[in-house]
Amino acid sequence: MSAHAINAPSARQKWVAGSLVILYALVTMIPLAWIMITGFKSPADAISYPPKVVFEPTLEGYVNLFTTRTRQTQEFLENNPPQNWADEIVRQYDMVIVGPSKFGERFLNSVIIGFGSTFLSVFLGTLAAYAFSRFKIPLADDLLFFILSTRMMPPIAVAIPIFLMYRNLGLSDTHLGMILLYTAVNISLAVWLLKGFIDEIPREYEEAALIDGYTRFQAFYKVVLPQAATGIASTAIFCLIFAWNEYAFAVLLTSATAQTAPPFIPTIIGIGGLDWPAIAAAATIFLLPVMIFTILLRKHLLRGITFGAVRK
């Protein structure tokens, strides 16, 4: 082979590689596309077999997701003309919108708990990782192993003790309780990932800042943090994905006030069965924050998952 073959792929190699990536993307995106499309179908189209690829799109699923409706008499419907386009959609089932559904609230809970615990995990994780990376800590290796050991069994294995503990502490069904729980699960991942990144940052940068007249803490946040941005961003994505998608603890510990979207979505009931378009609409909206967050941080993520191997 000629020497350039190692570095520069030929047009044919590029074509093959490109096709494989597109094929893989197609396979993985089909379920996503199916969910997103179903959100715009009518209940009848959603469960028709064979599945309809061409259909008349409707916002019925989204309207049902965000509202509560009630059936009304023909007389009432005639005397009260529809007030807006959403009202009009539900009239076809002789119903009227009587108020918002709980989805908005549940979604907001997910945002508060997901981002709250992500922030807390990354914040505490960064401080701990910096300390483990830079200072002489007695029993540092044992402490790190202890932190890791919290992930050696599936978190749900301790569900019952946590349930009892939370009940006694008054943390059940509270935002704070869920943020603390998800932080406890994520913190070991955050410490270990971030320690790897901070280890890679040469100490000389901080020492230069110390010499330049800054305190240790100023050196940390003005010099180390910007260097660790890649690691912090990718750690944040991993933490958010876990907290955002978590289902089992949410079912067990939350109900009225702090319930997140995952346990809520499957409970969306329509008329005469599950309201699949509304569920699909909920899933679509539920996907968005993580997607946006990941797209915003994707530059860092790509470098992040190589674990800093290509730095310097």
Partner 1 sequence: MAEIVIKNVRKEFGDFTAVKESSFTIEDGEFFMLLGPSGCGKTTTLRMIAGLELPTSGEIYLDGEEIAQRAPSERDIAFVFQMFALYPHMNVYNNLAYPLKSQGMPRAQIRAKIDEVAGILGITDILKKPVGGLSGGDRQRVALGRAIVREPKAFMMDEPLGALDAEFREHMAEELRALHDRMGATTVYVTHDQLEAMQMGDKIVVMNNAVVEQFGTPQEIYDKPATMFVADFIGSPSMNFLDFSGTIANGDTAVDLNGHPMGMPELREGASGDLAFGVRPEHVHLTDDGTYRGEVLATEYLGTTQIVTLQTPNGEVKARIASDQTAKTGETVGLSFNPGTITLFDKSSGRALKSALNEGVLHG
Contact footprint for partner 1 (CB under 8 A): 202, 204-205, 207-215, 218, 223, 226-227
Q: Nearest CA to 34 among 287, 231, 271, 228? A: 287
Of 14 and 216, CB closest to partner 1: 216
Q: Are 182 and 113 in contact (CB under 8 A)?
A: yes
Dig out the tokens for 280 from the structure.
Answer: 């699909």
Of 51 and 226, CB closest to partner 1: 226
Q: Compute the least distance from the CB of residue 229 to partner 1, in Å.
A: 8
Radius of gyration of the chain (CA): 25
Of 151 and 311, CB closest to partner 1: 311
CA distances from 76 to 70, 82, 95, 122, 301 (A): 12, 11, 10, 55, 56
Of 201 and 236, CB closest to partner 1: 201
Of 154 and 202, CB closest to partner 1: 202
Of 112 and 225, CB closest to partner 1: 225
- Residue 273 pairs in a beta bridge with 270
Q: What is the DSSP letter of 4?
A: G
Q: Compute the least distance from the CB of residue 192 to partner 1, in Å.
A: 24
Q: Are 235 and 122 in contact (CB under 8 A)?
A: yes
Q: What is the DSSP letter of 265?
A: G
Q: Compute the least distance from the CB of residue 202 to partner 1, in Å.
A: 7
Q: Compute the least distance from the CB of residue 223 to partner 1, in Å.
A: 6
Q: Compute the least distance from the CB of residue 206 to partner 1, in Å.
A: 9
Q: Compute the least distance from the CB of residue 215 to partner 1, in Å.
A: 7
Instruction: Based on DSSP, count helices (H) and strands (E) in the chain, helices before strands.
Output: 17, 4
Q: Compute the least distance from the CB of residue 232 to partner 1, in Å.
A: 13
Q: How far apart are CA 227 and CA 206, in angstroms?
A: 11
Q: Compute the least distance from the CB of residue 212 to partner 1, in Å.
A: 4
Q: Nearest CA to 275 among 113, 87, 127, 58? A: 58
Of 184 and 210, CB closest to partner 1: 210
CA distances from 169 to 18, 113, 174, 243 (A): 55, 18, 11, 21
Of 104 and 226, CB closest to partner 1: 226
Q: How far apart are CA 147 and CA 189, in angstroms?
A: 9
Q: Which long-range contacts (CB under 8 A, 24 or more apart) does 27-33 make?
A: 32/287
Region of 23 please: left (phi>0), alpha (psi -120 to 50) or beta. Answer: alpha
